[in-house]
Structure 1
């Protein structure tokens, strides 16, 4: 069995096609197809159903994806220990994180980690949308909210308060809302999550949770863009306090409606339930968790 063919097979699954996988690793579609055929011949089973438009895993292919990831993780761990010694780590780590939180909090941790471990390669995917960790071969992701996929494992990074904030220039021009109902007269910057718009903002009013529909002329699927528009005085935004804490401290943004809690969300590291996790991934998870403590 050729481990490089297993790696290529996983790349085909992650990229959703033979040609895309080939471009990623510098192989022609014909070479990729030949190596996939060799892998299927080795196992005596069809691993992928292929049409002109898409591929899908067979049951045997699904079983191989899980087993290949465990096997390759063990092989990487063994190579790292033999080649570099028990104290050094090497190899790739694929990470996903929200746009704004990723740039402000995760990137500095990653930079320090890379400086200390020169044999490690980081592949960072910053997105506020949903990403399939298992399907795309992501080693770990930092996510807000509850864990939707119960097959994943999670490590808590604590709670994350959400606040409504605005630039002093916006408040000077349009006034400061004193009650959530006042938001109907304000320009609110709205976050898009995939096909869904976050127009329904939740508040604690008279001891009860209430939702307020907001409107606004600016909508973005990038938390960093929402923050920047807010900093520029274009409207009110509902943001994670971790995303804007520096802006609040230096006065660039001001929290409003502080008497009406906008709620909290969980913040966590999630990762696939592999029986074997490379040491480099475990160490980075520990580093991120320690930083958020």
Structure 2
């Protein structure tokens, strides 16, 4: 039964019966037989099949949530029996923003893996939207408010969005004194999904106001936007955790801070039940300590 549940989870995560079967070493016929056996056991249809895609039925979504918890608990029990109660073992799938992952998070994970040599980390870096539950991530680190109410939130730190530029850019083009001055400047834009972040929010006279910005450089990689900013190509709006060291070193200068919105959150989000797995609980505690 557990093998069939594991196969069902991979089918849901990959969106393909054949591809999930190949990953787990099953032939297409065996994969279909195991899925049929699972549906026969529960007496319900778990997947809706079409020529283009698979989708979970309501019963399938319920089983997916429960199967993930059961498999995690079984894996945790196996590790504790084989390796002892004091040792952590097993994989952690983690998602994080590009810039944060390459700078701050990298050092945290290096320390964690050195302390727990039987744990493995599969790190996915992306500044775009990631569906944590359906893509099988144990934890995602994200800025701002949570949209998916089914996920659990653990706040790691406050996070201000800071408008900044290299001293060389300010020397050449001058310093904006009001958010509306940005319309005359070359701004470096992030692209989230298909939409560029070309409307920056500020607090003006006690109200949140959106100010349109534009520039010649747009990217979906926060690290590249930071590099452009350091090179003096324009003005960027970056999370404080991405540019704190650059600001402290004088490589970047903050702008328009008197108009800045109150800090939002930097948080870890995860599906229900994942924090009960010891290795994931330990990583969450490590992250919380690191970002205090």
Query: Shorter-chain TM-score: which interval?
Result: over 0.9
Secondary structure, aligned partner of 1:203: strand
When residues 76 and 217 of structure 1 are mapped into structure 2, their CA distance, relative to the original with a 3 A threshold, is same
Cα deviation code 1:121-149 (max 9, x no counterpart): 11111111121111111111111111111
Aligned pairs (5 A) from 1:114-193: 114-193=113-192
RMSD: 1.8
Give the aligned partner of residue 99 of structure 2: 100
Q: Distance in 2 between matches of 1:220 and 1:126?
A: 15
Give the aligned partner of residue 206 of structure 2: 207
Q: CA deviation at 1:77?
A: 1.6
Q: Distance in 2 between matches of 1:151 and 1:170?
A: 44
Cα deviation code 1:151-189 (max 9, x no counterpart): 211111121011111112222221221221211110001
- Contact (CA 8 Å) 2:274, 2:280: kept in 1 or not? no
**Which deviates the most, 109-118 or 268-277?**
268-277
Report the count of equivalent residues.
Answer: 292
Q: CA deviation at 1:31?
A: 4.0
* 1:218 maps onto 2:224 in alignment: no
Q: CA deviation at 1:19?
A: 3.3
Q: Distance in 1 between matches of 2:181 and 2:91?
A: 49
- Contact (CA 8 Å) 1:163, 1:262: kept in 2 or not? no
Q: Distance in 2 between matches of 1:43 and 1:283?
A: 35
- Contact (CA 8 Å) 2:188, 2:225: kept in 1 or not? yes
Unaligned runs of 5+ in 2: none
When residues 179 and 281 of structure 1 are mapped into structure 2, their CA distance, relative to the original with a 3 A threshold, is same
Q: Distance in 1 between matches of 2:210 and 2:44?
A: 53
Unaligned runs of 5+ in 1: none
Give the aligned partner of residue 197 of structure 2: 198
- Contact (CA 8 Å) 1:97, 1:141: kept in 2 or not? yes
Q: Distance in 2 between matches of 1:23 and 1:175?
A: 59
TM-score, normalised to structure 1's length?
0.93
Aligned pairs (5 A) from 1:1-293: 1=1, 3-274=2-273, 277-293=276-292
Q: Distance in 2 between matches of 1:208 and 1:56?
A: 43
Q: Distance in 2 between matches of 1:23 and 1:45?
A: 25
- Contact (CA 8 Å) 1:14, 1:135: kept in 2 or not? yes
Cα deviation code 1:36-56 (max 9, x no counterpart): 233333333322112221001
When residues 26 and 165 of structure 1 are mapped into structure 2, their CA distance, relative to the original with a 3 A threshold, is farther
TM-score, normalised to structure 2's length?
0.94
Cα deviation code 1:47-69 (max 9, x no counterpart): 21122210011222122111111
Secondary structure, aligned partner of 2:276: coil
Q: CA deviation at 1:259?
A: 2.6
Cα deviation code 1:78-101 (max 9, x no counterpart): 111111111001111111111111
Cα deviation code 1:240-286 (max 9, x no counterpart): 11110111122221112223224421111111112873111111011
When residues 276 and 209 of structure 1 are mapped into structure 2, their CA distance, relative to the original with a 3 A threshold, is closer
